[in-house]
Structure 1
Amino acid sequence: MTKKILLSVFLLPAVMTFAQQYGGMWIPTELNEKEMKDLGMKISAKDIFNPQKASIKDAVVQFNGGCTAEIISPKGLLLTNHHCGYGQIQAHSTVQNDLLSNGFWAKNTEGELPNPGVTVDFIVDIKEVTNQILQGTDNLMEPELAKQIAKNIEIYKNSQKIEQYQSISVKPMYYGNKFYAYTIETYKDIRLVGAPPQSIGKFGSDTDNWVWPRHTGDFSMFRIYADKNNKPAEYSKDNVPYVPKHYLPVSIKDKNENDFTFVFGFPGRTTEYLPAIAVEKIMKEIDPARIAVRDVALKTLDEKMRTDDVTRIQYASKYASVANYWKKWIGEVEGLKKSNAVEKKVMYEGSLVAKNPEIKTTLDQLNKLYNDQAPFALNNAYYSETIRNAETLMLANLYYNYITSVETGRMDEKGTTALKKKLTSFYKDYNAQLDAKVTAKLLALYANKTDAQFLPAGFEKYKNETQNIPTIEEASENSIITGRSEVNGASLSKDIEKAFSNQDKLIKTLKKDPVFQIYTAMRDTYMTKADPQFTTLQTKIDALQKTYMAQQIATDKDRKFFPDANSTLRVTYGKVKGSSPRDAVSYSYQTHLAGVMEKYVPGDYEFDVPKKLIDLYTKKDFGPYKDKTGDVPVGFTATNHTTGGNSGSPALDANGNLVGLNFDRQWEGTMSDINYDPRFSRNIMVDTKYILFIIDKFADSKWLINEMKIVK
């Protein structure tokens, strides 16, 4: 009791210092407009989202299904993060023409590079459709409840009149207590316009990822193309730059602490309303397991990438993807501890129970379910991360699914073609010899960290990492899965059509494959001894979480609730602000080009700086992009509540002008997906002044600046 009282005394002043105790990722049709205006916003909610006429939402798109991007010119010029466009930049790179290292800047629209398969999605309209989707679901339990909801969603979607290039997506909110329908318009001709070299766009790389101070010019530029009627169309040389309903003016005004900002984008996933027991399991068990697996994979890849340029280019995008959440989870664990997240949840639950005793029954049931699930959840974390990060086992998983589909009659010609296309793309950037080492080390970790009840018979032989390496290398050499052995007279990695020419022989050979047999032993054991139990308990947890969510909303009348992020369009807002994350440590809200030079390490893969950028700094050739300090601002932080998927999101000022490009969060606040704490939670943005400085002075691409509306 004493601990709880002290904690509340400690937390209350910190919370009262900030306007947003709980953060917020608001549906743009349900904005907390009064608080936004109290914090300094000068436009209206209708200026942000209006389905009837042009508004800011018409300049914000979901980029390639994951990140966010924004339109910054009347000619469909798109701005997003360098790390969001990284895969496309890599796809256009070769050892001879390394766009990752050298950067790329089209001289005109004719020089812009097409990216097959890349899309951007506009949100045309948002409607709450809870009554329609929950019709006829009273008193239904799973799985009948899910079936009825799925049926209602299809009925609703089929009842709507849309264009052939549009689609409707219905999303649950508040754990299925509400539903919203999104009308989406998809454009498919997206071309690469410009990207700084990774010594700018990825400056600081993994060392600086998730941390502040930050000096990364994390941006890249694309353009949307449309047909002659300005409608979505597949790539064609006859397509023309898209003319948007709205584009964002770009501000190069100085920023000051406590300036109002808001971020508009597609945050991926948060879980703000979990019970304390769930947060404790994540902090103490699940995240540490995920971190351990990725730690091994990343160290093994890094050793090779540092000494071999071919491997560095091959694995650049994959390594960055794996490292991103590895480091995020490390920060998340530290942040949950530092912010006393579990204790705060326990206190909040106590306050809810005091108002509504029925909630105690729900929480008691959730506590029991999470404890019952714990061993299965831990195995799920180790198993899924091992299969995901050992590419050889991931390939085996793809072939396992192929065989199952063939044998159950679910694999048609279209499915086979799609698989072959996916495999061809995968093998292009796959190093079987390198991944044999990764797989060997991860199998050793799995064998040592997994409870014996979840291990296949005889799996103890993989516990010794040193002995594993030659064993797995030999299996890899004799495997058709790795492409090092042939089937039907061809290698799967070199001539996939020929290798697939005799399906029966391919399947028969796969089943005898040494790598395939290792994978199937792991899979069969997991699917028998862990997955059914994990899934059954999770279904019960999900149903109770829905109840608990409804109880929170009904009971806590003083709290304004927003739904957890689920990759739908959201608005978050806050103020430009520095931070004091630890005793005697204070961070300013702004970094400058001088900081890039302070970190400069010649030839280093993370902290090298291009000569031209050094020359511009030395000459102080900053043009109109310097601030009141006389230096070029690079990045800044604010209290906006962001997460993955907000990468590339526009950061806007009180008037709706673009002032920054969201790309990261501060290390001490990465736990904000689970527990937003205003003392530590900061989003990190590239300053628009730095973006325009690089485009204009470094890239000599003033033709792009001339497209934009610059607010001085």
Structure 2
Amino acid sequence: MDRRLLALGLLLSLPASADEGMWTYDAFPSDTVNKAYGFTPTQAWLDHVRLGSVRLAGGCSASFVSPEGLVMTNHHCIRGCIEDLSSPKKDLLAKGFYASSAAQELRCPKVEANQLVEMTDVTAKMNAATKGLTGAAFNTALKKETAAVEAACATSGDVRCDVVTLFNGGKYHLYKYRRFQDVRLVFAPEFSMAAFGGDPDNFNFPRFGFDAAFLRVWQDNAPAKSPHFLPWAKQGAKEGDLVFVSGHPGGTERKATVAELEFQRDVNLPYTLLQLAELRGMLREYAGGSAERYRTTRSMLRGVENGLKALRGRHQSLADPALLAGKRQDEAALRQKVDANAQVKAATDGAWDEITQALDAYRRMLPDYRMKEAGDAYPSELFRMARHLVRVAEEKERPNAERLREYTQSQLPTLEQQLLRDAPVTPELDQALLTFGLTRVRETLGADDPFVQQVLGREAPADLARTLVRGTKLRDVKVRAALLKGGKAAVEASKDPMILFARKVDAEARAARKRYEDTVEAVLKRNGERIAKAHLAVYGTSGYPDATFTLRLNPGQVKGWDENGRPVAALTTFGGAYERHTGKEPYKLPDTWLKARGKVPPQTPFDVATTNDIIGGNSGSPLVDRDGRVVGLIFDGNLHSLGGRYAYVPETNRAVAVHGEGILAGLEHVYGARRVVDELRKASDAAVVPAK
């Protein structure tokens, strides 16, 4: 396929390939799947897979795999939990973890699981609230109605409700979730095995990562019942098999305007890449200081390296003239159709120009906004706690509809849960991160900037960071609980230096946020909605909306690809993992795997590549077959998939999963996790999957 045609058709009503599309469950193209693969998912089948799917509130996907609340996800999705449960004498991230009984399962301090139970179209209600409004007035009305709709839905602490924007505002849906706040760790391999191959192999294939972990949701101090779960397949997936991914892709920009994509290419991505590159350098230097520093930093460093590679891939995609040429062609075709329809043209008049003007304004204010409000100046866990405590106290005194989004009634339970969890904070690392951020704000805004003068005064960044981190008591959950319970009076009376600092910088941060929301966000939302409605008017609703970290279903098949004339096979094997072992990081197999050599037939599948259309957020998604049974666990994509933020290319875009057979073999023969294996097999034998 000519690369100059890669993006062609992305704004049209139907995807170019049967495997393209992150489809909402209420609009899944069953007929298209039937034409391509001879299989039509029934409504019962769709409900079965939907209710077996799970969202981890921190940004990943997962699935129920037994009726006793057992949840499967990626190791890298719950690294934070493993790190929180570790100590210098009990390094679970390095050694792995297995609970041989329910009593040994350990509660993850910050993990929440959500199960999507209901979807309701609220487009008419949202449109009525914003009718005739523009700019800040539009944004205010939209947020007010969103808060009201979510509050009416979230009737208890076990329910979470989110108004979801689809088709860039062309539609609005209310998603109702069942919340599980007691989530416990059951099994996790060693960090080195989950991330085998390290950064060199990241976003590459062949892969040999055992990036799998198991959790369990509990309720009333007992394992929660999960009648809707995805049983394990009796036979593993093989080349050519139809497979589905059910998960929560974080975000795509396939329907963004050309101006928005150019802004990403020229402004936002370069800024973020520089920030991450400098942070990686700081973390590497810090981690090299001692074994304990390495222990408390490796997870964050891995995340930063992953982000850098992913964003570089996105930037390279946007730097390809062919992709932007295709986008311009698509946009021109849409505008031509809009101009041919007088009613649609009138409703869309000026939309593209207003978006361009808003992005020009954002270009000038981006450093100011990113530093003051978005958190680049304060990459500190203790500061984030302080800011939340200050803002919770302030926002709770406002009417729900007038609060900042993250402090509305529907959002507060999750936030308060995290503030009150007794998770460890490493003061030395937090101080190093805050020093980095304060140094960056001075470099970015300039030493003479009034805000920088207000923040630093005559202090050096390192000295201020040391004073704040060493002086604060916010590491103690009891102190945080007292401030949360005491509300505004307690916060205003607090002499804690981090609380005082958060209060000191909050007015400027709020002002930067308001400038962004009124002059950029409001314009992008309103005009994005106008363009989306025009698109729906001239092309119809048969396409799929951009990803929004909401549950989506995608069909695909187990398939390799051709890399510059070299065929890449779809499956790797256990034998291949042992061949890749060098004894040196990042290609060093843990002792558990070396001792287990020979216990698993070398031809046993390990990882698998598929044509499924995924993006960040799909990590932890189950890979299921046409019987609705688990055949794998998504954990990555190849390098070609990085451009999937903007375009799906069926020839080379591949998702990467741990193979279902490989997961069972590793659990049983490498880790001796018989309790988990027996539970999976028992659930599989007893499961009744809806007829196809």
TM-based fold match above 0.5: yes
Aligned with 1:482 (options 463, 469, 490): 469
Q: For residues 409 and 675 of structure 1, do their structure 2 counterparts lie closer, same or farther at Cα, with a shift above 3 Å needed?
A: closer
Partner residue of 1:111 out of 93, 104, 109: 104
Match of 1:664 in 2: 636
* Compared CA separation, residues 542 and 453, structure 1 to 2 (3 A): farther
Q: Which amino acid aligns with 1:94?
A: S
- For residues 524 and 86 of structure 2, what CA distance do their matches in structure 1 show? 46
Of 586-595 and 271-280, more deviation after overlay is shown by: 586-595
After superposition, the C-alpha distances for 1:565-609 in whole angstroms (9 at most, x for unaligned) are 22222111222222345x4454322222233334324253x3321
Contact kept? 2:237, 2:625, Cα under 8 Å: no
8 Å CA contact 1:58–1:244 kept in 2: the answer is no
- Distance in 2 between residues matched to 1:158 and 1:448, nearest whole Å: 42
Structure 2 residue 666 is matched with structure 1 residue 673? no
Distance 2:640 2:373 in 1: 27
Assess, with a 3 A threshold, how the Cα gap between structure 1 residues 248 and 19 changes in structure 2: closer, same or farther.
farther
Which residue of the other structure, out of 374, 377, 386, is the alignment partner of 2:366?
377
Corresponding position: 1:66 with 2:59: yes
Distance 1:535 1:701 in 2: 54
User: Using the alignment, how far apart are the partners of 1:615 and 1:286 within structure 2?
Assistant: 48
2:205 matches 1:209: no
3-state SS of 2:369 partner: helix
Counterpart CA distance in 2 for 1:114 and 1:423 is: 14
Distance (whole Å) between structure 2 residues aligned to residue 97 and residue 512 of structure 1: 32
Q: Is the 8 A contact 1:132 1:156 kept in 2?
A: no
Q: Deviations over 1:480-499 (max 9, x none)?
A: x211x47xxxx555797499
Deviation, 1:647, is: 1.3
Aligned residue number for residue 311 of structure 2: 329
Is structure 2 residue 529 aligned with structure 1 residue 546? yes
Distance between the aligned counterparts of 1:48 and 1:420, measured in 2? 34
- Which amino acid in 1 is paired with 2:64? I
Superposed displacement of residue 696, structure 1: 0.8
Please tell me whether the aligned partners of residues 620 and 635 of structure 2 are also in contact (alpha carbons under 8 angstroms). Answer: yes
Specify the code of the residue in structure 2 equivalent to 1:33: S
> 1:465 — aligned with what?
none
Q: Does the 8 Å CA contact 2:637/2:655 hold for their aligned counterparts?
A: yes
Shift of 1:402: 5.1
CA distance in 1, matches of 2:335, 2:57: 44
Q: 631, 637, 645: which one pairs with 2:603?
A: 631
Distance change (3 Å), C-alpha of 1:252 and 1:12: same
> What amino acid maps onto 2:616 in structure 1?
G
Question: Which one-letter code corresponds to 2:469 in the other structure?
Answer: T
Structure 1 residue 443 displacement after superposition: 4.9
Pick aligned residue for 1:268 from 234, 239, 250: 250
1:103 to partner: Cα distance: 1.4
User: For 2:131 and 2:676, how far apart are their aligned partners in 1?
Assistant: 56
Q: CA deviation at 1:657?
A: 2.0
Within 5 Å, give how 1:687-698 maps onto structure 2. Answer: 687-698=659-670
Alignment of 1:600 onto 2:596: no
Distance 1:277 1:42, change over 3 A: same
* Stretch deviating more after TM superposition (172-181 or 524-533): 524-533
Q: How does 1:256-655 map to 2 (within 5 A)?
A: 256=239, 258-338=240-320, 340-357=322-339, 358=345, 361-381=350-370, 387=376, 390-391=379-380, 395-396=382-383, 399=386, 410=397, 422=419, 428-432=424-428, 434=429, 436-440=431-435, 442-443=437-438, 445-450=440-445, 456=451, 471-477=460-466, 479=467, 481-483=468-470, 485=471, 493=475, 497=479, 510=497, 516=501, 532=515, 535-556=518-539, 560-580=542-562, 583-584=564-565, 586-602=567-583, 604=585, 606-617=586-597, 619=598, 621-622=599-600, 631-655=603-627
Contact preservation (8 Å) 2:575, 2:603: yes
CA distance in 1, matches of 2:334, 2:314: 26
1:332-361 deviation per Cα after TM superposition (whole angstroms, max 9, x unaligned): 112333473322111111212232224684
Q: Which sections of structure 1, spanning at least 5 residues, go unmatched?
A: 1-5, 226-232, 463-467
Matches within 5 A, 1:61-210: 61-116=54-109, 118-135=111-128, 137-146=130-139, 148-149=141-142, 165-210=158-203
Query: CA 1:608–1:132 in structure 2 vs 1: closer, same or farther (change >3 Å)?
Result: same
**Does the C-alpha gap of structure 1 residues 549 and 455 become closer, same or farther in structure 2, counting only changes over 3 Å?**
farther
| Distance (Å, rounded) in 2 between the aligned partners of 1:263 and 1:593 | 24
User: Deviations along 1:31-60, whole A, 9 cap, x unmatched?
Assistant: 01011122326352313333xxxx222221
Q: Residue by residue, what CA displacement relative to the aligned partner does 1:6-43 show, whole Å, maximum 9, x if unpaired?
A: 9756877999xx95289211111210101112232635
Return 5+ residue gaps in structure 2 as ranges.
340-344, 399-408, 686-692
Query: Cα RMSD (Å) of the superposition?
Result: 4.2
Aligned pair in 2 of structure 1 residues 676, 382: CA closer, same or farther (>3 Å)? farther
- CA 1:46–1:454: 2 relative to 1, 3 Å: farther
Distance, in Å, in 2 between the alignment partners of 1:548 and 1:372 is 20
Please give the alpha-carbon distance, in whole angstroms, between the structure 2 residues aligned to 1:116 and 1:675.
37
CA distance in 2 between partners of 1:654 and 1:550 (Å): 34
- Kept in 2: contact 1:294–1:389 (CA 8 A): no
Q: 2 CA distance for matches of 1:528 and 1:13? A: 41
Which gives a bigger RCO, structure 1 or 2 (Cα 8 Å, sep 6+)?
2
Q: What is the TM-score of this pair, normalised by structure 2?
A: 0.82
CA separation of 1:361 and 1:568: change in aligned 2, threshold 3 A: same
User: In 1, Cα distance between the equivalents of 2:305 and 2:367?
Assistant: 21
Question: Partner residue of 1:244?
Answer: 227
Q: Is the 8 A contact 2:64 2:70 kept in 1?
A: yes
1:379–1:530 Cα contact (<8 Å) kept:
no
SS of the residue 1:191 aligns to: strand
Secondary structure of 2:206's match? coil
Q: Is the 8 A contact 1:306 1:312 kept in 2?
A: yes
Cα separation, partners in 2 of 1:512 and 1:640, compared to 1, 3 Å? closer
- Paired with 1:566 and 1:10, the residues of 2 have a C-alpha distance of 23
State how far apart, in whole Å, the 2-side matches of 1:173 and 1:450 are: 36
Q: Deviations over 1:352-394 (max 9, x none)?
A: 2232224684323333332343222354346667636642xx6
Equivalent AA in structure 2 for residue 708 of structure 1: L
Q: What is the alpha-carbon distance in structure 2 between the residues aligned to residue 409 and residue 253 of structure 1?
A: 52
Specify whether residues 511 and 313 from structure 1 end up closer, same or farther in structure 2 by C-alpha distance, changes over 3 A only: closer
Identity %: 20
Whether the 8 Å CA contact 1:56–1:248 is kept in 2: the answer is no
Q: Which residue of 1 aligns with 2:690?
A: none
Q: Which amino acid aligns with 1:555?
A: V
Task: Give SS of 1:34's match.
Answer: helix
Match of 1:3 in 2: none
1 CA distance for matches of 2:580 and 2:373?
37
Cα distance in structure 1, aligned partners of 2:437 and 2:151: 47
State whether structure 2 residue 4 is matched by structure 1 residue 32: no
User: 1:59-89 CA distances to partner (integer Å, 9 max, x unpaired)?
Assistant: 2112345322212233332211111222222
